[in-house]
């Protein structure tokens, strides 16, 4: 199979600025919405694809003052796509856009074969279905966004500043870049 069309779709989706959703009914270019679109578009091309969900954490590259805003009692998950190529399932995760690479975030290519987030526990199909069912409860979604809203807004603002620094760097201006912070 010629992967040129799939690669072009992957890059087009990946290159959209990554952001967290901040409220119910307000989609964003986060892992879920980017992943669902990739899953649909690759499926149309004839690829065998599946969505995966797993638990993760806020990366140490994110400033500590933003990480502290995320409630400790709210599970952080990641959604990514797997695609079957040559009989093997491999991740195809378009989450982070290229300018976020300035801050050290992993920006994948079509064939990177890895997720953009470190997964601490991948869900089985049954667990992923049960987790998705929770989101059908409007109260669950409203409570989730109320809890993570301050972190999501601060994170999106910080991502925008990283992109602005990347644009300045592309214009050959000397600018400070975000450095990874380790805990």
> How does pLDDT run across 133-147, given as a tens digit for each residue?
999 999 999 999 999
The pLDDT value given to residue 1: 77
- Provide the domain limits for residue 160: 4-122+137-170
Asked if the structure places residue 49 within a domain, the reply is yes
Residue 175 domain-assigned (yes or no) = no
Q: Tens digits of per-residue pLDDT, 119-176?
A: 999 999 999 999 999 999 999 999 999 999 999 999 999 999 999 999 887 753 433 3
- Quick check: 31 and 93 in contact, CB under 8 A? yes
Strands 121-122 and 88-92: unpaired
In a domain, residue 132? The reply is: no
Instruction: Quick: pLDDT tens for 78-106.
Output: 999 999 999 999 999 999 999 999 999 99
* CATH at residue 53: 3.10.620
- Whether 181 has a pLDDT exceeding 60, the answer reads no
Give me 48's structure tokens. 């065998």
Number of domains in the chain: 1
Domain presence at residue 181: no
- Is 90 inside a domain boundary? yes
Strands (E), the chain: 49-55, 77-85, 88-92, 121-122
> Is 131 inside any structural domain?
no
CB 53 within 8 A of CB 130: no
For 33-83, the pLDDT digits (tens) are 999 999 999 999 999 999 999 999 999 999 999 999 999 999 999 999 999
Residue 41 lies in a domain: yes
The answer to whether 107 touches 14, Cβ cutoff 8 Å, is yes
CA distance 154 to 168: 21
Which residues are bridge partners to 78 per DSSP?
Answer: 54
The C-alpha atoms of residue 95 and residue 31 are separated, in whole angstroms, by 5
157 belongs to a structural domain: yes
Segments in 92-176 forming alpha helices (H):
125-134, 138-170
């Amino acid at each position: 199979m010629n992967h040129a069309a799939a690669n072009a779709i992957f890059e087009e989706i990946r290159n959209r600025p990554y952001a967290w959703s901040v409220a119910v009914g307000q989609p964003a270019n986060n892992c879920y919405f980017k992943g669902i679109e990739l899953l649909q578009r690759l499926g149309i091309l004839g690829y065998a694809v599946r969505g995966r969900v797993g638990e993760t954490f806020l990366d140490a590259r994110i400033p500590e003052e933003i990480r502290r805003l995320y409630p400790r009692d709210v599970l952080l998950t990641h959604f990514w796509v797997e695609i079957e190529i040559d009989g093997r399932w491999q991740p195809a995760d378009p989450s982070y856009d290229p300018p976020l690479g300035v801050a050290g975030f992993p920006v994948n290519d079509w064939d990177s074969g890895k997720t953009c987030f470190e997964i601490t526990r991948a869900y089985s199909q049954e667990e992923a279905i049960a987790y998705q069912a929770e989101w059908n409860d409007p109260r669950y979604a409203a409570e989730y966004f109320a809890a993570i809203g301050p972190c999501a807004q601060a994170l999106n603002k910080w991502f925008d500043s990283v992109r602005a620094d990347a644009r300045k760097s592309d214009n050959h201006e000397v600018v400070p870049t975000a450095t990874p912070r380790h805990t």
